[in-house]
């Protein structure tokens, strides 16, 4: 019975992705800190120095809090039953004008192509403000690429052009040093095949592609950190875990400086929805919302923001528990509805693939924009426009 219960949980993408991100970003750094496995590397001296400032009882409190959050996120997925959901949606994807869709998405690709010289600056291209616009545009294209996958209608020259658009934008971001969106796109394209196909689609090709992706991402990290002259097993592991360690650096400082607040005011969370406003309309929109640094005393040497800090600073650990429960409930309901509607399945897959990474490291400004704007409001607006255009076109 327990095995059946666990199998039902791990068959749900959001549970798998959340469990990975939880282990990778919130638990692994603590284990690495206590084990000292990477102690002695010059690039991690500061991290270990700050880690040693945390008291053992503070680590205990932290572990209790995050495991409670984990349980509260998972609980809705264990008990929400699809039989009680009577909503039935019908999707008629054949009415979508693919040509109109390409026209709507083509400005993103054109802008990307003109921006390639600036993007080729790699990590020196941080001054290029258009990178965020391209990253956002890549998520719009990913939504429709996944949509054609789940509807089984990806054949045809025009529809394949969507994947060409996605490849152009993703490679451009990769050349600029942005690996995160490359991984998100890869996960988005394989999630439907692994979790929603009637047949088990984990073929040797899928495993091979995944292995190649991991090696590729690790190789970039190895060269960035100057470890290519002496590649060791420990060095490769260090590159793999540097991402969560540097992200958790913000949690170290938050615990040391702020302790554990039971309740806080979600100023950063509420104002993060202002990030939905297009930059082209309000170039200085970042001045409108509270940043996490404005409401709590901590610093993150490399800029990444642990989800622990985001939740603690906005809600405190008590209200943070409620947030995690309702977030888990949201994903659980989406999973059930994803089996009834192809549009909802597309949305569900897209919001799942940002769970293992962006949710745990990028703050509410980016995460909320991804799940409510980039994958919901904008794609639905485009689809409604295309449906209306197609309707009038048929009756002209």
pLDDT of residue 198: 60
Beta-bridge partners for 305: 362
Residue 86: pLDDT band with limits 50, 70, 90: very low
Contact (Cβ atoms closer than 8 angstroms) between residue 143 and residue 379: yes
Q: How far apart are CA 55 and CA 340, in angstroms?
A: 49
State the burial class of residue 80 (Cβ atoms within 10 Å of its Cβ: 0-12, 13-18, 19+): middle
**pLDDT of 91 higher than 50:** no
CA distance 145 to 154: 8
DSSP annotation of 11 reads T
Q: Is there a contact between 33 and 63 (Cβ–Cβ < 8 Å)?
A: no
Whether residue 201 has pLDDT greater than 70: no
Spell out a b/e string for 234-255, using b for 16 or more CB atoms within 10 Å of the CB, else e.
ebbebbbbbbbbbbbbbbbbbb
List the one residue out of 340, 368, 387, 365 whose CA is nearest residue 98: 387
Residue 105's SS3 state is helix
Q: How confident is the model at residue 154 (pLDDT cuts 50, 70, 90)?
A: low
Q: Is residue 382 part of a domain?
A: no
Q: State the pLDDT at residue 70.
A: 97
| pLDDT band at residue 326 under the 50/70/90 scheme | very high
Rounded distance between C-alpha atoms, residue 67 and residue 54, angstroms: 19
Q: What does the alpha-carbon distance between residue 325 and residue 70 come to, in Å, rounded to a whole number?
A: 9
DSSP assignment of 351-374, as one string? HHHTTTTHHHHBHHHHHHIIIIII
pLDDT tens-digit readout, 164-191: 999 988 888 887 777 788 889 989 988 8
Mean pLDDT of the 249-270 span: 90
Residue 292 lies in a domain: no
In whole angstroms, give the CA distance from residue 186 to residue 133. Answer: 20
- pLDDT score, position 128: 54
In a domain, 368, yes or no: no
* Per-residue pLDDT tens digits for 339-361: 888 899 999 999 999 999 999 99
pLDDT at 174 (0 to 100) = 80
Q: Is residue 22 part of a domain?
A: yes
- Per-residue pLDDT, 303: 74
In a domain, residue 180? The reply is: yes
- 102 φ, ψ to 5°? -65, -40
Which pLDDT belongs to residue 30?
A: 96
217 pLDDT tier (thresholds 50, 70, 90): low
Provide the pLDDT for residue 328: 97
Q: Which domain holds residue 29?
A: 1-259+322-358
What spatial distance separates the first Cα and last Cα of the chain, rounded to whole Å?
60
Among residues 342, 389, 374, the alpha carbon closest in space to that of 99 is found at 389
Is the pLDDT higher at 88 or at 94? Answer: 94
Computed over every residue of the chain, the mean pLDDT equals 82
* Residue 376, pLDDT score: 94
Report yes or no on 282 lying in a domain.
no
pLDDT digits (tens, 9 = 90+) for 93-141: 454 577 788 888 898 888 888 877 776 664 444 555 567 788 888 999 9
Residue-level pLDDT at 87: 41
Question: How far is CA 73 from each of CA 91, 298, 390, 393, rounded to the nearest angstrom?
Answer: 30, 26, 41, 46
Work out the average pLDDT over 383-388: 83
Instruction: Report yes or no on 279 lying in a domain.
Output: no
- Average pLDDT of span 210-225: 61
**Smallest Cα–Cα separation from 366: which of 308, 261, 291, 284?**
291
Query: What's the half-sphere exposure (Cβ side, CA atoms, 13 Å) at 19?
Result: 13
* H helical segments located in 152-226: 157-175, 180-195, 204-224
Say what percent of the chain tops pLDDT 90. 36
In whole angstroms, what is the distance from residue 332 CA to residue 327 CA?
9
Region 56-76: what's the mean pLDDT?
96
pLDDT at 313: 92
Structure confidence by residue, pLDDT tens digits, 5-49: 677 788 899 999 999 999 999 999 999 999 988 887 788 888 999
What's phi and psi for 211, nearest 5 deg?
Answer: -65, -40
Q: Is residue 372 part of a domain?
A: no
Number of domains making up the chain: 1
Query: 134-148, 258-272, 290-304: which range is least confident on average?
Result: 290-304
Q: What is d(CA 58, CA 316) in angstroms, rounded to the nearest whole number?
A: 15
- The phi, psi pair for 362, rounded to 5°, reads -110, 0
């Amino acid at each position: 019975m327990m095995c059946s219960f666990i199998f039902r949980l791990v068959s749900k993408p959001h549970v798998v992705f959340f469990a990975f991100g939880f282990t990778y970003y919130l638990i692994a750094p603590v284990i690495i800190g206590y084990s000292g496995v990477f102690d002695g590397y010059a690039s991690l001296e500061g991290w270990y120095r700050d880690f040693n400032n945390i008291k053992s009882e503070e680590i205990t409190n932290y572990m209790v809090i995050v495991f409670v959050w984990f349980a509260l996120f998972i609980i809705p997925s264990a008990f929400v039953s699809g039989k009680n959901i009577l909503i039935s949606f019908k999707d008629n994807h054949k009415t979508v004008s693919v040509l109109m869709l390409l026209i709507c998405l083509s400005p993103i690709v054109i802008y990307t192509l003109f921006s390639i010289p600036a993007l080729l600056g790699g990590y020196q291209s941080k001054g290029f403000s258009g990178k965020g616009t391209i990253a956002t545009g890549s998520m719009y294209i990913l939504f429709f690429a996944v949509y054609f996958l789940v509807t089984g209608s990806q054949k045809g020259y025009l529809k394949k052009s969507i994947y060409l658009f996605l490849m152009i934008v993703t490679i451009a971001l990769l050349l600029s040093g942005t690996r995160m969106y490359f991984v998100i796109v890869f996960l988005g394209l394989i999630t439907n095949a692994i979790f929603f196909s009637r047949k088990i689609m984990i073929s040797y090709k899928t495993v091979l592609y995944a292995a190649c992706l991991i090696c590729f991402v690790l190789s970039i990290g190895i060269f960035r950190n100057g470890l290519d002259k002496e590649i060791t097993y420990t060095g490769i592991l260090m590159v793999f875990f540097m991402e969560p360690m540097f992200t958790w650096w913000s949690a170290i400082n938050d615990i040391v400086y702020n302790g554990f607040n039971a309740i806080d005011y979600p100023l950063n969370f509420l104002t993060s929805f202002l990030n939905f406003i297009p930059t082209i309309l309000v170039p200085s929109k970042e001045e409108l919302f509270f940043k996490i640094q404005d409401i709590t005393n901590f610093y993150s040497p490399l800029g990444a923001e642990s989800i622990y800090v985001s939740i603690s600073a906005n809600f405190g650990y008590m209200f943070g528990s409620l947030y995690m429960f309702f977030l888990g409930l949201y994903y659980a309901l989406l999973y059930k509805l994803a089996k009834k509607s192809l549009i909802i399945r597309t949305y569900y897959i897209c919001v799942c693939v940002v769970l293992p990474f962006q949710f745990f490291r990028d703050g509410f400004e980016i995460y909320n924009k991804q799940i409510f704007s980039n994958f919901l409001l904008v794609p639905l607006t485009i689809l409604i426009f295309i449906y209306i255009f197609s309707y009038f076109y048929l009756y002209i």
